[in-house]
Amino acid sequence: MKSERQLFTAGVTALAPAVWGSTYLVTTEWLPPDRPLLATTVRALPGGLLLLALARTLPTGVWLWRTLVLGTLNIGAFNFLLFVAAYRLPGGIAAVIMSAQPMFVLILAALFIGDRIRFPHVVACVLGVVGVVLLVFRGTVELDYVGVVAALGGAMCMATGITLTKRWGRPDGVGLLPFTGWQLTVGGLVLLPFTLAIEGLPSSIAGTNLLGFAYLVSLGAVISYMIWFRGMERLPALAVSFLALGSPIVATILGYVFLHETLSILQLIGVVSILTAMLLAQPRPAKLQKPGPHVPLHRDATSGTRAKKVH
């Protein structure tokens, strides 16, 4: 059944945000402290260069500027703005604002892809925001407007990247491996000057740091982004965008298990709310319509599909 295949694809695609949720734990426990930009750059650039070396294929023609746009939106600008928001907005506010990302996808997909906005999608957007608020928000804080703008910009970058990736697809004859490598390389190159200017390089690297970087490059970038872009090709844009909300769920659970952080009833309700939003956003199987007595069906010889016969 097509619907079962789509749910399976959604489950596989959700593994990418799950891995990204685990990078919070890896970054805090295994990497040099207070260097999130370094972690993001090392995750993207070496992984992208590795895939380029394996694929030996570079973008040409229109895909030169399309790759620059997609790599910047999906990886470079998105991660930089997320870094700014996380530093200037305490208490999980950045994650709350970022949860507006599916709402942006809902609008952009309707404008540029022609996806219909349905009532369950609107409900899913509301449930997603409520779920993230319950999951990560902690008390009353003063908003830093630079951080708010950065978080909104990050959400818009991700939403636009998902929409354009869905609209453009990937070039004919180009596999998923080089397509992922192009974007990771562009994203890493965009981040590199900011990393060197803001954080610089650590004076020393420990063995655990190398393990952390290896995890980020392999699972956190190469494998997870290939899974993510594969899901974009096979699922509606909105369905993919909601799967990204799985990242804070995994981060919260891992924090509870390994860092002895609290997990309240409200947080569990938030998890259920997010999971419900994800399910609502997934495509529904089309209902079969039984033909009436005066509307016989015949098989279309050109398309192989069953169509109504017009008298």
For the stretch 33-86, pLDDT in tens is: 888 899 999 999 999 999 999 999 999 999 999 999 999 999 999 989 988 888
Between 133-137, 192-196, 282-286, the lowest mean confidence (pLDDT) is in 282-286
**DSSP character at residue 219:** I
Supply the pLDDT for residue 230.
96
Whether 246 has a pLDDT exceeding 90, the answer reads yes
Q: How far apart are CA 194 and CA 151, in angstroms?
A: 17
Q: Whose CA is closest to 79, among 184, 205, 222?
A: 184
Q: For the chain, give the percent of residues with pLDDT over 70.
A: 89
For residues 124, 130, 132 and 137, what is the CA-based torsion angle, rounded to 10 degrees? 170
What lies within 8 Å, CB to CB, of 214 at 6+ separation is none
Q: Which two tokens stand for residue 205?
A: 């690297």
Average pLDDT of the segment spanning 101-121:
95
Secondary structure of residue 81 in the 3-state scheme: helix
Supply the pLDDT for residue 34.
83
Q: Sort strands 297-299 and 306-308 into parallel, antiparallel or unpaired.
A: antiparallel
Residue 242's pLDDT band (cuts 50, 70, 90): very high
Secondary structure of residue 290 in the 3-state scheme: coil
Note the pLDDT tens digit of each residue in 247-260. Answer: 999 989 998 999 88
Position 276: which residue type? T
**Per-residue b or e along 264-297, where b marks 16 or more CB atoms closer than 10 Å to that residue's CB:** eeebeebbebbbbbbebbbeeeeeeeeeeeeeee
Average pLDDT of the segment spanning 174-189:
97
Supply the pLDDT for residue 171.
94
